[in-house]
Structure 1
Amino acid sequence: MTAVRIDALAREFGELVSTVDSEDAVALVERALDDGADPMAVLVDVIAAAQRRVGFRWQRGEWSVAQEHAATAVAVSATEAVTRRARLTPAARGRVVLACAEREWHAMPAMIIGGALRGAGWSVTMLGAATPAARLTQYLHDLGPDVTAVSCSMPGALPATRRIIEASTADGIPVLAGGPAFGTDSARADALGATAWAPTAREVAQVIAGLPPVVPAVPPLPAGPANEQASLELDHEALAATLLRQWSPGPDWLAADIKDVVDLALHCVGAALLTGDARPLPDTAAWVSDLLTSRGADNTTAGELGEQLAHVLREYPLARNLVTAHWA
């Protein structure tokens, strides 16, 4: 299928996602595959592209959470259709256990990776969203996979990703990391001890084929940042409660929505501490600013959150310094 026809397919699929027409969306994808469309192009350039637009519409206040969830269900059904087709390829290359870290509820990226790997001849066991490290350990013992793949979209899930990396490498199993939370290079994945990082779904099969069969357990992280991140995690609810008393984007906001923003900000600090990469802070500040202003909040509100965040973290010097220097 040519790029032009993929573009046309993407437009038509996007319209069906907008109207929450799951049946026709699945039929469209299946017809495209019957006509010779590249399954990877369907996964990445059609389904994933539509899902990104769904996220943008929610972030900009154009869609409600209910609309976002309904549209995502259409994308999930279409991804499952591609994966069913991918299962026609013999699984002769080995077994991959694919998980999302705790606090990572976005399973769609992992589903797309799973479909790509299955089409490349890997047997894939998908553990789903928010997989606890203890649950992963049990699966590793039961299945004995060749590789653990971990998907992470939100920076706040990076500390939990470290626990998955520890659990997997303790059994000698290499870990492939990927997802938007890792940014645009391997720095965060390397810092957390992942065996390798893949920037997009297209590179996953190639990267995973080059992993070593056995790896050593990851060494401990630097004690200072790791200890402070652990303390932040233990004190999270108390810190969040203080922030909620001191900061609000305005009276029209639901308490649950404000809590989500506060939780995100605190988890982002922990991710920056643990990876030694401060970029999640300005990235999150920009995301929060866009979220708030698109819903009518003053354009200074995100900056005020950063100021209050630095204030409540005054007993956590490494974290406070990161916020003061990098929240913008």
Structure 2
Amino acid sequence: MTRTDALTRGLADFEHALAARDVVAAVDVVEELLHDGADAVTVALDIIAAAQRRVGERWLRGEWSVAQEHAATGISASALEAIARRVSRKAAPRGRIVLACAEREWHTLPALLVATGLREHGWDVTCLGASTPADRLASYLHDVDPHVAAVSCSVVGALPNSRRFIEAGTGAGIPVLAGGSAFGPDARRAEALGATAWAPSLRAAADVLDALPAVVSPAPPLPAGLLAEQRVLELEHHARTESLRGHWRPEDTLGPDTTGHDEVAAIAKDCVQHVLYAVQAALLTGDGRLVRDAAEWIGAALTARGAPASVTSALGDELAHELRGRERAVTLVRRYWPR
């Protein structure tokens, strides 16, 4: 069997273990691949990360519940620990990296994947974990003086807080590497928030790290008007979430006994929060794709559960009405919300 065939079979077996909620079988899959000579980074990315992407896609299509998704993530974390145990500590590491999730980012698995991969590439990585406050990060950076600070961000709600992370790092003269799906498909958001560099993947991160300067200047200030509007929206977030949820009830398009009614109702508040955070992030980064992508994600999640496509259009109208008086935010919604 070729190495490619082994990985293909391993991914199928790993996905089967996730579906069965069998942590022992999942760990056995990765340990067998490693025993047969597969590279640790390859197994982490092509088995665990690939399977987790498919888990998210299954939830979005309404095929898996939130409970199934969370169980799969826990199993994947256990499998990653098995890989991490095989990654040897280098006698002379290339440098020290402090890696953390931005505040409000609770998805630690992507950060742990990156930490494991960078250790395999010879870096000494300290992972601070989920939702790291900027002041705690600043204190830690002062204590350990790493070569690089790296921020992981998978959800758009954490992007504004990534800015505070970047300020903490660059304010201490330490280059900041940004990565994670919330930063999007290119460097635009990372650059707008003041990061020193952006990496689209773990494999790319290794090369980006080699090109970072030893010392950097503090990130330049964000435009005052945009920052002020974002911070007002952040302060108003809870009230606007409740107001929007009161006016936008996609579950009412389904009968109370209809399959999907309760699930649509359960995720509607998450949809509202998601798009309000997307607007905040779009303000700070100037990237209206965040609003468009949020609308498409919401539409996919709701229509997969039986709601009509019109509920997504209705949310865009309600959102623009809710944000009236915040002209920059309304302009983003009017321009980027799909019609």
1:272-291 correspondence runs (5 A): 272-291=282-301
- Check the 8 A contact 1:174/1:215 in 2, yes or no: yes
Q: Which residue of 1 aligns with 2:38?
A: 37
Matched residues in 2 for 1:24 and 1:106: separation? 23
CA displacement 1:30-79 (0-9 Å, x = unmatched):
12112110111101111100001111111111111111111111111111
Counterpart secondary structure, 1:81: helix
Q: Which residue of 1 aligns with 2:258?
A: none
Q: Which residue of 1 aligns with 2:321?
A: 311
What is the RMSD computed on CA atoms of the aligned residues?
A: 1.3
1:1-328 correspondence runs (5 A): 2-90=3-91, 92-251=93-252, 252-253=261-262, 257-328=267-338
Q: Which runs of 4+ in 1 moved over 4 A?
A: none
Counterpart secondary structure, 2:186: coil
Report the alpha carbon displacement of residue 138 of structure 1 after superposing the two structures with TM.
1.8
Counterpart residue type for residue 320 of structure 1: V
Using structure 2 for the length normalisation, give the TM-score.
0.94
Matched residues in 1 for 2:91 and 2:64: separation? 41
Matched residues in 1 for 2:200 and 2:29: separation? 28
Structure 2: runs of 5 or more not aligned: 253-260
Matched residues in 1 for 2:275 and 2:92: separation? 41
Counterpart residue type for residue 25 of structure 1: A
Report the alpha carbon displacement of residue 89 of structure 1 after superposing the two structures with TM.
3.9
Q: Which moved more, 1:5-14 or 1:84-93?
A: 84-93
How many equivalent pairs are there? 328
Counterpart secondary structure, 1:105: coil
Using structure 1 for the length normalisation, give the TM-score.
0.97
Matched residues in 2 for 1:246 and 1:135: separation? 39
Matched residues in 1 for 2:136 and 2:70: separation? 26
Counterpart secondary structure, 1:128: coil
Report the alpha carbon displacement of residue 88 of structure 1 after superposing the two structures with TM.
4.2
Percentage of pairs with the same residue: 53
Report the alpha carbon displacement of residue 105 of structure 1 after superposing the two structures with TM.
1.4
Counterpart residue type for residue 212 of structure 1: P
- Check the 8 A contact 2:159/2:182 in 1, yes or no: yes
